[in-house]
Structure formats: structure tokens, C-alpha cells
Structure 1
Amino acid sequence: MNKIGVSASVRVLVVALFSFLAIILISFFKVALEWEDAEQAFYSQWFRLGYDDQPPLYTWLQICINKILGLNRFSLVGFRAFIFSATLFIMYKFAYKVHKNENLAVLSVLLLFLIPVFIDFNFRRLTHTSLMCLFSLSLYYVFFLLMENKSLRNYILLGLIIGGGLLTKYNFALIIPTFLIIPFFDAEAKQIVWNRYFFISIGVAGLLVSPHLYWLFDNTQYVSELKMSMAHKTKSVANHTVFSSLWAYLKSFIQLSILLFLVFAVAFFRRGIQLKQQKWNSLSKLFIIQFVIASVVFVSIGSSKVSERWLLPIFLPFLVLLFSFFQFKKITVWIKWSFRLFVVVLIVQLVRTPVEKMLKIDSSVHHSFEPIALKLDAFSKKQWVLPDVTYAGSVKFERTKKMVFSSDDFTLPKTVIDSSNAIFVQKEKDANLEIIDSLIGFGEAKEALYFGVKKK
């Protein structure tokens, strides 16, 4: 029997395997791709140093997978499913590293299914955020690994994780200052950061991100678009008060963790758990620092909207911290019921799409993009330019051998699209285009689409 216990490992592997299979199976109930999968179907047509308003790592990996498996439903969804399953396993490893307890490590994995956004978004559709969850947990795991073994290998691994995280989502940068501040409050963390090998970690991370950073700051238009995208997503305005921004942040944090706190509150009052004498360990200090840093950032940019999925990868590792506060009277009972919860959640997710169809609850994934592709087939020798990335990726999925373009792809060089030899699909009529076909009432939004060529 190995150090962390065969039975515990098997339980986690079963949960990870079932999750992997469920994510793939769910995708086959959908007629169309989820919108982030459609984005990857589109962007993975090219290797670039930057895509849209996200860093490029996820798409680079997707390109590699597509080269091996081709562009299909399995290559897109299977990659997401693998990331989700790997996240469960890293959570297990990290929890065991912190608590040295197999049961608590297994329970940490199972209680992830009490986080709504982790299941509703991460499980079904998210790409970059899913990968950031994996890198975030990996960062904490390796940091705690360094507390025990400050080897060169672990410092190189730390650098790879930091670099990979920064190339996955820009808000991974919110996590880094936490590990630079913690040495001033924690002796163990101080020994990690104030170590000569830590400069190797910085060098490895810098080496990984430098090509993208060079491209980023060499393209002022992209940086401008990036700022506008961030302002739009956070609804940042200059006249927002500190209180309104802080409330938006706190409300999102509460929504992220409300089910966990309710379960623990009920268990406490029913005497299923009891409070332990709390010590200010490294993880609790990291949580306080991270919570303050995130609040300062969202307040400073005047954000009036903070999405739960933005906070998910930042605070996911701190689920493990809950077990520092409580003593479980019957931990095996918790594991038994948590596993049943996992099974119920899995079944609900599996039947969700078929039930939506049966009850005529409309959703974008119920509408095939084949009607658009069929109309475009009449212009096979022209370039196809769709109104946005979601449309373009969905049509690309229907016609995998055809190069497809998008009107809102601001990272594509303008010279690539030959407007004199292109068919444009737009949601509104354009005076510069001669409309030669249309598709009225398409999709969930019942949109009108117009097919046009440049006027001579």
C-alpha cells in the first residue's frame, strides 16, 4: 500500500473517470457546440501568439490535440473532460498534502460538487477557466510540496506552473502577489521564496510568457481591445463607489460558497462536526492575503460586476481550508453521502439536455448550424466570414475542411480576408453589401441572418 492509500486513490480515480465519461456523453446530447467549444473550433485553425481577450495556451494545446484526433466533438470536449478530471485528482493530492488524511482528501474532491459554478459552468462548458483551476490547484500543491522538499526539480515545476497559468488566463496574475506577500507573515513560506532556486522559477516562468508578452505589447490595438473587453465584462465605470464594487465582489464570493457554508452550518448545529482550535497555518494566511488582494483589485478598477467563475479558480484551493476549522465525528458517513451527492449531480447533468428538449426549454445547444453551412456550400470557392467567433466556430465544426473567418476576430491580420472574394454573413443589413440570401428566425434568439457579397 502506498503512502496515500490505494483505496482512497481508487475512489478519486473512479470519480474522475465517471466525470470524464459524463462530460463527453453530455456533449452528444447537444446538437450544437457550447460557445467556448465553438471558439476553440475557430481559433485552433491557426497558431498565433494571442487570441481574442484570452492568453493562448489553451488554444495551443487544442491545436496539438486536433492535429492528432482531428477537429471533432471528442477532441474539443474530451480535452475539457480531461482537464476537469485532472483538477479533481490534483485537489485530492493537495488536500492530502495539507492534512495528511486520506478521508479528508477524498471528501475535498466530493465536496467540489457543492460549488454550483464548478458544475454548471466548469463541468459543461468552460475552457480557459477550467485550465486555470487546474493550474491554480497545482500552484498551491507545489508550494506546499516545497515546504517539505526544496529541490531544484520542484522549483522548475513551480516556474512551469506560474508560466502556464499566466498563459491560460490574465487573472491568474491575481494569485501571484499572494505568494510574494506571504513570506512576510509565514516562516515556512519565507524559506521557499527567499531561496536562490526561486530565481530559477521566475526565469522559467518569464521564458514561457515572454513571446506572448512581446506580442501583446507590440500590438497596441490588441491591448486597447483587451482593456475595453475587461471594462465591458466588469461593467467598470469611474463613478462607482468603493462600497458598490466591494459589494459586487462579496456577493459573488457568497454565491460561490453558499452551499458549502449551509451544509457545514447544518452539520454543526446537528453536532455532526465540532469546531477545532484554530491555528494560523500557512493556508489560512494565504486565504486572508488572497481575499484582500482580490477585493483591492476589483475596487480599484471600479467593477460593478464580479462573476463567480472569475473567483472560482482563485479560491478553489481554499476549500481544503474548511477542514482546518472542524472535527468530523463520522468522516466515513460524510464520504458516503458526499459520494451519493456526486452520483445525483452526475445524473442530473446527464439528463438535463434531453429533459430540456422534452419540456421544450430552448437553449442555444439545441440548434444546429447546418442550415447556415448548407447555404454557404453554394459559395464554396469564396471565403466565409461569419458575424462572430461563436458562429464561425460552429460553422467550422460543420465543415471541418473549410477555412472560416469571423468579423469580430480582432487578432486576425486585416489582409487575410479578401473582401472581393468573400461571402459575409451578418445579423444586420449592410449598405456596402449586396444581399443575395437570408435565413430568418435562426437559433434560440430567432435571429435574422443576411448573406451578402461586396458591391461592385
Structure 2
Amino acid sequence: MTSPGAQDRLSDQSDRRSDARPPAGAGLSRTPPPEARSPGVVPVPLIFLLSVCGYFALQVVFRVLSADNLGLDEAEQLVMGQSLQAGYGPQPPLYTWLFLALQPITGESVLTLALLKFGLLAVTLCATFRLCRQLFGDPLAAAVAALSLLYLPQVFWESQRALTHSVIALAAVALASTVFVDLVTRRRTRDYWLFGAALAACALSKHNALFLPLGLLLAALLLPAARPALLDRRTVWALGLSFLLFAPNLIWMALNGEAVLARSAKLGFDPSTGALDSLSAVGRALLSFALLPALLIGLIALAPDREGKPTWQVSLQVRRLLTLALGLAASFVLLIVLAASVDNMKDRWLTPFLFLAVPVALAWIAPRLTRRRLRMAAAVAVAIAVGSMAALWLRQFLPADWADPPNMEAPFDLLATELPEDGLLLSTSNWVAGNLRLHRPGLSAATPEYKAVLRLPPTGPVLLVWRARDGEAVPQALEALAEEALGRSLPADLPVTILEAPYPGGVPTLALHLVQVAVSP
């Protein structure tokens, strides 16, 4: 009888023979995950898959039950996702395309956004587990290494609480990295095509999602064992497929440079910024990103344990490839920061190209990862996961004077009742426009960043809405947007209506100013 491992090798060899390619020994070696287990025992991969999917399914339920309004990034999707476009603004379009794809099933709703976000986080963990199977011969060690992503605050808290594009960037890079390791270890034709598609997904998810895939490509060229996999005509096919998939958005960006760069100011580009200031900004972001996982991994590695050495092996070549790729990706970013004189860097911007540093760090301390320490590492990850779920759910019950209420608890559902059922909503805030559209889906909405709906003449009244804290007069940016929509100047002395409603608990109060302009027939 042929063993499963032998069948897998025969399948790989058959695939390579059909493509007239050299045998697997010409590329990176891999540590095949052992599959031997007692009859009736549920395999670790299935347990991991069910646990991850079950956890994020609960997160979807809790998100839908917690609040019927949207956070900043979620509300932005209600403004962007009004039609299918090759591009929308400063953010790449893939997240919005997926949001549009789900709308026929679940509509423009909190449920749709929750399914998309938590589904992508589940994809990230499952793809990372698949990658860690190439690092660790033991599936249990691979599962713990994948769960170690939860050591990152940007994953266990920020991604679940507020982020959107960073979440899809994380999933895209995890998939691209996993497929790339398969490509250099197995050299199957399908892996080249999958890598091309995953690379395009990275480019379409968030601009900083390209750094790690580029690091992987360069690392493979630098490593003799991996180089033959790239010096193959199928690499050109993969890159060609990636370019074709990315081309529509690339053309759109070339024609809409101002929209693409609308948020570049938040990076703090300043020619007067010195190299030390840029390095300081990177250092602060890196410290915030790496401090907690470094402490946790250090404590796990140093925990007292009298057990023997681990029974699994780490693939040294895969570990070397990933380590070099992480170093190269970080170097790319550092060079760009120094060249552009950036003086502002946020830790979450590092996540799509440094998140694999956590499982790779575990691979480096593998000689100390006994079964007991693995159980400790898994227990820490589970505690973090449960704690973040509880915190996200319970924060809505905090007394009003304990902390500022979450953005998703703002009473837009109450304020929207004062608006007409249809028309054109204009606002300087994506958060305001998206939340009001959520409760008045008959309204189309435009902001200075997202103006695609202005191509069509408004079919109802034009509503100008802005935060009361911005003053009673129509903000200049909103006035310019209204003139673009109307094709004429705003009438003088338009009456201003104040919309006001309290947050849950009675305080604080959200106040909006509203100006309504009738459209001439």
C-alpha cells in the first residue's frame, strides 16, 4: 500500500514531469507534516479550522448585536461601495469590491461588513497555519505558531475593532506568502498562477501590502536553494497575470493622481525632516508593534520546563527564506521613509509586512518549544482571543463617564429619521455620510474624497450635513462639493437645521447641522 506521503511525492513528480520541470530536489526542501494519528482522533488541521471559524462566527454575532451604527472605516465603505469602480480614492478597491459582492446576499448592512471583516481575519489565520506547516513538522506546533498572530495588538484588537483595508491586506499577504513557499518548495504550475493572483490581491488591498511579497521574491533570488524556482518562465506568467489583474486600478490611479494622494499628508512628508526624526518615528512605531509579542515570546521561551527536546523539526531553509524576506521588506520601508522625510508612522502600518515575524520568531526558538511551552503559548493566544471578544462586547456597557463611547454607538439611527428617504447627501465626513446612508439607503452620498455619484444629476433634494463642532456656516470644502453637484453657487441665507441626539446612556450628544437645497426641475 502506498503511504499518503509517498502519494504526495508521486503527485508532485507527476505534475513536474507534465510541465517538463526539474525534480523537487532542485529547490527548497520542506518538512512534510506528519499525518500519523490514532484511529478516531480528530486531526489538528480540522480542529484549528473549526475553532478559528467558530470564533469569528461568534464575533460576527456579537458585532451585529452590539450596535446598529458604524465605525470610521466601516462607514467609509457605505460611501465608496455605491457602485463598481476601478478605483475609489486613496484606498485600493478590493475591500469595496468584496463588500459589493456580498450586498446581493445580505445588503448594505452591519452584518455584511462584519462577515467581510471577520471572514478575512479567519482567512489570515488559516493561511498562516498552512504556511507554518512548512516551518514546523508538527501540526500542533504549526497551529500554535499561527495563533501567535494574536499576540499583536494590531491583530487581536485594532483589526477586530475598527480596521478594514489593513485587514484585507493582512489576508492577502498571508495568502501570497503561503503560496510563495509552496511555489519554491514544490514548483507546481498551479502555485505560480496562485501566486500571481495573490500578488495582485496584495496590490489591490493596500499599498503597503506589496513590501513582504517583494521581499520574498528578492530573498528567493538571493538564496541558491530557492533561486531555481524563480528562474523559470512560469514566474513571468505569474507576474503577467498579476499585472493584468492590477491593470484597471493602475490605469485609474494614473488618471486620478490627486484622489490617490488625498491622504498623503498624514505621513508627515516634510523636506525639513531630518534622518534622525524619520528614524525616531519608525522606532516608536516598531516599539509599539513589537513590544508585547517580544515580551510574551521571551517569557514562554524562558519558562521553566524539565521536559525533553521537541519531537519536531523546523525547516531551516524555509525559516531562512522568511527571515530574509522580513528583513528586506523592513529595509524597503526604512529607505522610503528616509527618502521621503516621513516624520509620522503608525504601528498598524507595519502589520501587513511584519506580522510573520511572530511565527518566525517561534521558529527560531524552536529548540526550546517543548510540549509544555507550546501549551503555554496556545493558552496565551486563547486568553487574548477570549479577552478581546469580551472587551469588544462589554465596552458598550461601560458608564458614560468612564471612557469616550465607540464611534459605532453614535446615534445616527435617531438622527437619520429627520432626513428624507431619497436625494443626494453631501458631507465632509465619511463617518457621517456612511452612517446616514446606512439608515437611509435611498440616499446617495458624496464626500470630498469620494465623488463618483456626482457624475449623475441628483434626483432629489441635496442635503449638506456637517458636524456642529465645525461651526454653523457651511464649511468651505462642503460648499465647493455642493457647487460641483448643483452646477451653480449655493443660494444665500439658507436655513440651517440642527439635528441632535444623545449617545446610549444619555451622554455625550451628537449634533449635526443640515442644509437642504431643492433641485430645480
Q: What TM-score do you get using the length of structure 2 for normalisation?
A: 0.79
Query: What RMSD over aligned residues (CA atoms) do the two structures have, in Å?
Result: 2.9
State the distance in 2 between where 1:334 and 1:169 align. Answer: 36
1:161 matched residue in structure 2: 198
1:41 and 1:76 in contact (8 A); partners too: no
1:220-369 equivalences under 5 Å are 223-230=257-264, 232-272=265-305, 281-329=320-368, 331-352=370-391, 353-360=393-400, 361=403, 362-369=405-412
1:15 matched residue in structure 2: 51
State the distance in 2 between where 1:272 and 1:325 align. Answer: 18
1:383 and 1:417 in contact (8 A); partners too: no
- Post-superposition shift, 1:72? 2.0
Q: Does 1:141 align with 2:184?
A: no
- Post-superposition shift, 1:447? 5.2
State the distance in 2 between where 1:376 and 1:453 align. Answer: 10
SS in 1 for 2:495: strand
SS in 2 for 1:100: coil
2:267 and 2:345 in contact (8 A); partners too: yes
1:392 matched residue in structure 2: 433
1:423 matched residue in structure 2: 463
Closer, same or farther in 2 for the Cα pair 1:349/1:177, shift >3 Å?
closer
| 1:58-116 deviations in Å (ceiling 9; x for gaps) | 11111011012222222110111111111111111001112222122111122222111
2:24 matched residue in structure 1: none
1:439 matched residue in structure 2: 499
- Post-superposition shift, 1:340? 3.2
Identity level (%): 16
SS in 2 for 1:450: strand
Q: Does 1:371 align with 2:434?
A: no
Closer, same or farther in 2 for the Cα pair 1:45/1:313, shift >3 Å?
same
1:98 and 1:144 in contact (8 A); partners too: no
2:61 matched residue in structure 1: 25
State the distance in 1 between where 2:430 and 2:147 align. Answer: 35
SS in 2 for 1:197: helix
1:25 and 1:350 in contact (8 A); partners too: no
Q: Does 1:101 align with 2:144?
A: no
1:376 and 1:384 in contact (8 A); partners too: no
| 1:291-313 deviations in Å (ceiling 9; x for gaps) | 21121112212111211111111
- Post-superposition shift, 1:356? 4.4
2:71 and 2:406 in contact (8 A); partners too: no
Q: Which stretch of structure 1 is more off in the superposition, 366-375 or 196-205?
A: 366-375
State the distance in 2 between where 1:297 and 1:258 align. Answer: 23
2:452 matched residue in structure 1: 412
1:109-128 equivalences under 5 Å are 109-128=146-165
SS in 2 for 1:449: strand
Q: Which has the larger radius of gyration?
A: 2
Closer, same or farther in 2 for the Cα pair 1:73/1:31, shift >3 Å?
closer
Closer, same or farther in 2 for the Cα pair 1:228/1:54, shift >3 Å?
closer
State the distance in 1 between where 2:248 and 2:87 align. Answer: 10
Closer, same or farther in 2 for the Cα pair 1:336/1:414, shift >3 Å?
same
1:206 matched residue in structure 2: 243
1:435 and 1:450 in contact (8 A); partners too: no
Letter in 2 for 1:263: L
Instruction: Number of aligned residue pairs: give it.
Output: 449
SS in 1 for 2:342: coil
1:420 and 1:454 in contact (8 A); partners too: no
- Post-superposition shift, 1:323? 2.7
| 1:105-161 deviations in Å (ceiling 9; x for gaps) | 111122222111111111222221111111111111111111222122111111000
Unaligned runs of 5+ in 2: 5-32, 36-41, 480-489
Q: Which stretch of structure 1 is more off in the superposition, 387-396 or 351-360?
A: 351-360
Q: Which stretch of structure 1 is more off in the superposition, 173-182 or 189-198?
A: 173-182
State the distance in 1 between where 2:211 and 2:282 align. Answer: 14
State the distance in 1 between where 2:349 and 2:57 align. Answer: 26
Letter in 2 for 1:224: E
2:28 matched residue in structure 1: none
- Aligned equivalent of 1:173, options 202, 210, 225: 210
Unaligned runs of 5+ in 1: none
1:189 matched residue in structure 2: 226
State the distance in 1 between where 2:364 and 2:378 align. Answer: 22
State the distance in 2 between where 1:199 and 1:46 align. Answer: 33
